[in-house]
A and B are shown apart, each in its own frame.
Chain A
Amino acid sequence: MAAGPPFTARARTDARDWLIEADEPLAGLQLRGGGELPGIIASPALLELVRKARTYGLRLARAIRAQDDHEQVTAWVEVMPCEHGDGCTIGVSNWQSTPLPDDGGTEATEARIAVARHLAELSARLGPRQELLAVEVRTAELEDVAGRMREALGSPWTEFALLEGNAQRQPLHWRLLDGARLRLPGSERHWKAHLVPLGGAEPGSAGFELYLVADEPPVDTTPPAEADEKGAPGMAVGREIAPVLRQPIARIIANAETIRTQLAGPLAEEYSHYAADIATAGEHLLALIDDLAALEVVEDEQFTTAPDRIDLADLARRAAGILRVRAGERGIAIDAPKPGESAPAIGEFRRVLQILLNVLGNAIRYSPEGSQVWLRVERDGARSRVIVADQGEGMTEDQQARAFAKFERLGRSDSGGSGLGLYISRRLARAMRGDLTVESAPGQGARFMLDLPADEGA
């Protein structure tokens, strides 16, 4: 038997898998990885190893890879559980650190993010304190939890998930949550969180994208078709057709992506381009289904909105925050209301955000590159108003009249939208006792105005 290696560093953990004491260089890695000392082990690979050794009561030894902001570390780690199961001792040897290759690291991160985006069944946009701003789900299984999240926009997302092996509820440092395993109410499956920090200088200063990816494939829970007296014939896209269509289309996109990336084998370039077209068309089809489902909701006679007390200036800033990256890709600057400005109104928070995202999204999509989009708020007696003004081509009287009609695309043939967005947005605005209107002239850009009842009490 070989004698044990001479350890270069030792450490001790407790029954919660917190690092209680640690020699350098392990201590430094813990702190640079966003952890504390004492505190829960920051490196996911080390945490998993220690947790296993403790729960199995086995002496484990493995090569560990860990990474912080600027270096990649490999080390040989031996973990010995204490006799009474209340912690472990760690011995580290063969510590080797290499600086992260700049481009390689970024590319690896991007690839990881791309995969998470592709597979996520719940995605959400978070603010800088990891508070929920918008939530999207792809599985019926998660509709419940998503519904609760949407009702509690502004609360930390961690309130809606059970982090495995962690009793803390308050948001941890995002590095600790990135890659964390968790359970979701209403789902039997095991989930993993991916957090993508936004904001240049300090990651996370502009919020996060959250993606939840399941370990197991979704259970097939196509609900049995129910006779529904309320729904008129031919009006069941959202409830019945959308869930069924989504899966095969997602598969078409995934397969097209596989072909495009030549995973299945080398391919002539033109075929790879065709595959890219198929994927794009598929994405468009998915968006169309979402729109049709939304259309069905707003056209339902029973459709009502919640009278939240909202601030249009705050919502405009949130919408700007969410779309800033997309605008940046086209060199478009968004000028949102200044912090401190406010326009209290009565309307449903998420519906107003939906309208603003739609109108602002259009402005970004159809404005010339390098132009500017303004978001302004006004209060006029009993009405509060938010204005989205762009420097696009503008619209004739006739086009303005048609812009809010169903399936109207104003002669555009790109694959940008379904022609339902403005129609749905106006329906939503009117359901909230407000309105969505436009003022424009050719060559003058367009001003979309969302009016809502002012919050007189504010």
Chain B
Amino acid sequence: MTGDAADSIERLLRDELTRGDAVIADARPVLRYFLSHEGHPLFSEAMVARVRGMMLDIASQLLHAEAEGGEVRDRAAYVAERQEDLASALIENGSFLAHAQALVIEADLAERLQARSGIDAVLPLLLQELAARDDEATAALAMALLAAQARFMQNCRRMELPMQELPGDLFHAALMALRNRGGAGIELIERRLRASYDEGASRLGLIARAITGLGDEAPDALAIDRAGPAIFASALAMASGQERSSVVLSFAEGQFARLLLVMRASGLEHAAMERQLLFLHPDHRLPLAFDAMSAERARALLFAAEAERGGH
């Protein structure tokens, strides 16, 4: 063996070691985080598994569409081979992750409220009333929403996230992730997928539409026992000007301050807020000093916190 060859092997080994060290160094804080937050619902194994499941599901839908367009014979194998990579690309996108996480928290809360307080996860009181209206358009909207809500609960249990249910920005991001893989004939497939999309027909679209049409009953949407967590979250987001996913996140443990601010920014008064807390955090009390906080101030604080995080 010449000296040069020995050198180059050494260099190779050194590089490998350095790379290995970096992986260990990266992994350690993550591991420590998981260990020290064991049992925390935001980092529970169920949460991680379900978010991951949803990402894999979207990747699989994208790849199926691609395989269909590309006339691949063994579609299952085609998808299975590429699914993990594409899912990883989606996970890289923070908004995707936040959306999936929020859906899991929302579904979780819906199940818990149904068990604990008898709030129907699929057909809450407000939706029952809308469905019973004489006005045909409203009744039809309520029925469509009922179906969408039932599908959503089922999807979450199966760790599925149909692409048609994504908000427009994420639908676009998903297609971009697919395009970046550079598959054959991707343009045609993309055009077909884009044409099939209708944000207004998605569950979140239907909820938002229903809320804008409430009129006199608008305050009902801001009562979780009447509206159920899904409509409640959308109504809070619309009234406070916050992203829906960050509103849903505020329902989670350890996000009490955010929840209070979101509720106040939505214009809820003391008594109304206490009532929501009864369902969301039966063990927490509303701090008295909070009454001095105006809706505008609460909104400004949320906005400032968002800007500190670096916006979206």
Contact = CB atoms under 8 A, between A and B. Distances in A.
A213 interface: yes
Contact of B209 (A5, A57, A58, A265): A5
Contacts of B137: 3, 5-6
- Please tell me the size bucket of the interface on A: 35 or more
A261 B301 contact: yes
Contact of B197 (A1, A59, A93, A216): A59
B238 A74 contact: yes
Nearest to A4: B200
B310 A94 contact: no
Contact of B304 (A104, A110, A118): A118
A216 B304 contact: no
B78 interface: no
Contacts of B211: 63
B186 interface: no
A86 to B, nearest CB: 16
Nearest to A116: B307
A96 B191 CA distance: 35
A241 to B, nearest CB: 26
Interface stretch (B37-45, B83-91, B167-175): B167-175
A115 interface: yes
Contact of B296 (A3, A6, A108, A263): A108
B70 interface: no
Contacts of A441: none
Contact of A60 (B143, B168, B310): B168
Nearest to A49: B168
Interface in B130-145: 137, 140-141, 143-145
A59 B296 contact: no
B206 to A, nearest CB: 7
A84 B132 CA distance: 42
Pick the most buried of B172, B200, B297: most chain A CB atoms within 10 A of its CB. Answer: B200
A78 interface: yes
- Please tell me the size bucket of the interface on B: 35 or more
Interface in B266-312: 287-290, 294-297, 299-301, 303-304, 307, 310-311
Contacts of A5: 137, 141, 209, 213
Given A52-B168, A217-B310, A263-B301, A59 B295 contact: no
Given A4-B200, A266-B289, A111 B212 contact: no
A76 interface: yes
Q: Looking at chain A's contact residues, is the secondary structure mostly helix, strand, loop, or mixed?
A: mixed
Contact of B199 (A4, A61, A213): A61
Given A65-B238, A261-B301, A266-B287, A94 B212 contact: yes
A94 B296 contact: no
B213 A76 contact: yes
Contacts of B289: 262, 266
B307 A58 contact: no
Contacts of B310: 215-217
Contacts of A110: 296
Interface string A95-122: 0100000001001101110110011000
Interface in A293-335: none
A76 B212 CA distance: 6
B201 interface: yes
Given A1-B201, A4-B200, A112 B300 contact: yes
Interface in A49-69: 52-53, 56-63, 65
Nearest to A106: B296
B112 to A, nearest CB: 27
Contacts of A57: 191, 194-195
A79 B46 CA distance: 37
B311 A216 contact: yes
Nearest to B311: A215
Contacts of A4: 200
A294 B202 CA distance: 59
A75 interface: yes
B297 A111 contact: yes
A58 B300 contact: no
A349 B71 CA distance: 71
Contact of A61 (B191, B198, B213, B257): B198
A262 B288 CA distance: 13
Given A56-B168, A213-B307, A76 B209 contact: yes
A167 interface: no
A93 B211 CA distance: 12
B307 A2 contact: no
A2 to B, nearest CB: 4
Given A104-B295, A216-B311, A3 B168 contact: no
A271 to B, nearest CB: 13
A110 B296 CA distance: 9
A2 B171 contact: no
Nearest to A6: B137
Interface string B181-199: 0000000000100110111
A255 to B, nearest CB: 11
A212 B44 CA distance: 40
B205 interface: yes
Given A115-B303, A216-B310, A65 B241 contact: yes
Interface string A73-90: 011101000000000000
B97 interface: no
A403 to B, nearest CB: 41
Given A4-B200, A57-B194, A115-B303, A63 B212 contact: yes
Contact of B140 (A2, A53, A261): A2
B209 A61 contact: yes
8 contacts: A56-B194, A58-B194, A59-B200, A62-B199, A104-B296, A108-B299, A119-B307, A261-B297
Given A56-B194, A115-B303, 4 more contacts: A52-B169, A61-B205, A76-B208, A111-B296
Interface of B: 137, 140-141, 143-145, 168-169, 171-172, 191, 194-195, 197-201, 205-206, 208-209, 211-213, 215, 238, 241, 257, 287-290, 294-297, 299-301, 303-304, 307, 310-311
Top 5 A-B residue pairs of the complex, sorted by shortest distance between their CB atoms: A61-B200, A2-B144, A111-B300, A266-B289, A94-B212
